[in-house]
Amino acid sequence: MQYVLVSSCLLGKPVRYDGRGVSHDNTVLARWLEEGRVVSVCPEMAGGLPVPRPPAEIEPDADAAAVLAGRARVMAASGEDVTAPFVRGAQEALAAARRHGIRMAVLKEGSPSCGSGYVYDGHFAGRKQPGMGVTAELLGREGVRVFSEKQWPEAQAWLAGLEADDGG
């Protein structure tokens, strides 16, 4: 059976920066939970950040690849440099994926850790820009296919393809 890495907040766990979870009444996720294939991860907590915590964004004119290369930072709205916990959390998520032989993830869109299609632009003004979060970037470059919570049907189809390729 293929396991799937899923952002803890998408499971309703109160781990987001604001101390909330995200409610998802989703048949795909419900089935995966019932099948026991979900591995929950919150990279920001795994990296040592508390709940609640100030919101954070990748600094302007930078991306997650630059953060991972040490050329850019993740900054909290408070002005604190939180790059180290974000990178550590991404490494922990990758370690969890490797432990479980995980080849796909469904992560929270827009997060500076987990975003797979967009992140915020670093100005703390609510403006989105195309890009990936630090964890999504690291997982992707290591061969884990990353989906957002807006892509459940696509994720289910990809999982079915993986299992067909694996013979069941």
Q: Given a cut of 80, is residue 168 above it in pLDDT?
A: no
**What pLDDT digit, counting tens, does each position of 73-102 carry?**
999 999 999 999 999 999 999 999 999 999
What is the full DSSP assignment across 27-47?
HHHHHHHHHT-EEEE-HHHHT
**What pLDDT digit, counting tens, does each position of 126-141 carry?**
999 999 999 999 999 9
Total domains in the chain come to 1
In this structure, the number of other CB atoms found within 10 A of the CB of residue 115 comes to: 27
Torsion angle of alpha carbons 96, 100, 101, 103, nearest 10°?
-60
Contacts of 167 (CB under 8 A, 6+ apart): none
- In the chain, pLDDT over 90 holds for what percent of residues? 94
Q: Given a cut of 80, is residue 23 above it in pLDDT?
A: no
Q: Given a cut of 80, is residue 105 above it in pLDDT?
A: yes
Q: Given a cut of 90, is residue 117 above it in pLDDT?
A: yes
Domain that holds residue 131: 4-165
Can you tell me the distance from the alpha carbon of 13 to that of 129, in angstroms, rounded to the nearest whole number? Answer: 26
Q: What does pTM read for this prediction?
A: 0.96
Average pLDDT, the chain: 97
Question: Looking at residues 20-37, what average pLDDT do you find?
Answer: 92
